[in-house]
Structure 1
Amino acid sequence: MRLDIVSLFPDICRGALAESIIGRAQRAGLVEIRHIDLRDYANDRHRTVDDSPFGGGAGMVLRPEPLFACIESLLQDDSHVVLMTPQGSVFNQGKARELAKKTHLIIVCGHYEGIDERVRQTLIDEEISLGDFVLTNGAIAATVVADAVLRLLPGVLGKDESSQDESFGADGLLEYPQYTRPAVFREMAVPEVLLNGNHAEIARWRQQQRLLRTARRRPELLEGEG
Structure 2
Amino acid sequence: MIINIITLFPNFWKNLLYYPIIKKAIKKKILKIKIHYLRNYVIGNKIDDYPYGGGHGMIIKIEPIYNCIKKLNINFNEIIFLTPDAKLFNQKIAIKLSKLKNILFICGHYKGIDQRIRDFIITKEYSIGNYVLSNGEISTLVVIDSIIRLIPGVLGNINSAFTDSFYNNNYDYEYPLYTRPYKFKNMKVPNILLSGNHKQIIKWRKLNKFIKKIKFL
TM range (shorter): 0.7 to 0.9
- The 3-state SS of whatever aligns with 1:148 is helix
What residue number does 2:27 align with? 27
The 2-side partners of 1:35 and 1:51 are apart by 24
The 2-side partners of 1:13 and 1:119 are apart by 23
Residues 209 and 102 of structure 1, relative CA distance in 2, 3 Å threshold:
farther
1:51 to 38, 49, 53: 49
What residue number does 1:38 align with? 38
- The 3-state SS of whatever aligns with 2:113 is coil
TM-score, with normalisation over the residues of structure 1? 0.83
What residue number does 2:13 align with? 13
Residues 7-53 of structure 1 deviation map (CA, whole Å, 9 limit, x = unaligned): 11122133245323223322332211111111111133x4x321222
The 1-side partners of 2:191 and 2:121 are apart by 56
What residue number does 2:209 align with? 210
What residue number does 1:73 align with? 71
Letter in 1 for 2:99: K
Residues 125 and 144 of structure 1, relative CA distance in 2, 3 Å threshold:
same
Residues 116 and 24 of structure 1, relative CA distance in 2, 3 Å threshold:
same
When structure 1 is superposed on structure 2, of 112-121 and 189-198 the one drifting more is: 189-198
When structure 1 is superposed on structure 2, of 106-115 and 78-87 the one drifting more is: 78-87
Letter in 1 for 2:13: C
The 2-side partners of 1:193 and 1:116 are apart by 58
Residues 132-175 of structure 1 deviation map (CA, whole Å, 9 limit, x = unaligned): 11112111111111111111111222111112333323242122
What residue number does 1:91 align with? 89
How far off is 1:66 after superposition? 1.0
TM-score, with normalisation over the residues of structure 2? 0.86
Q: Any conservation in 2 of the 1:53–1:60 contact (CA below 8 Å)?
A: yes
The percent identity for this pair of structures is 39
What residue number does 2:174 align with? 175
Stretches of structure 2 that go unaligned for 5 or more consecutive residues are none
Q: Any conservation in 1 of the 2:76–2:104 contact (CA below 8 Å)?
A: no
- In the TM superposition, 1:185-224 aligns within 5 A as 185-195=184-194, 205-217=204-216, 219=217
Residues 196 and 155 of structure 1, relative CA distance in 2, 3 Å threshold:
farther
Letter in 2 for 1:182: P
How far off is 1:55 after superposition? 1.9
Q: Any conservation in 2 of the 1:62–1:114 contact (CA below 8 Å)?
A: yes
Q: Any conservation in 2 of the 1:17–1:143 contact (CA below 8 Å)?
A: no
Whether 1:107 aligns to 2:124 is no
Number of equivalent positions: 216
The 1-side partners of 2:193 and 2:8 are apart by 49
Whether 1:156 aligns to 2:154 is yes
Residues 63-92 of structure 1 deviation map (CA, whole Å, 9 limit, x = unaligned): 111111112334534520111222222222
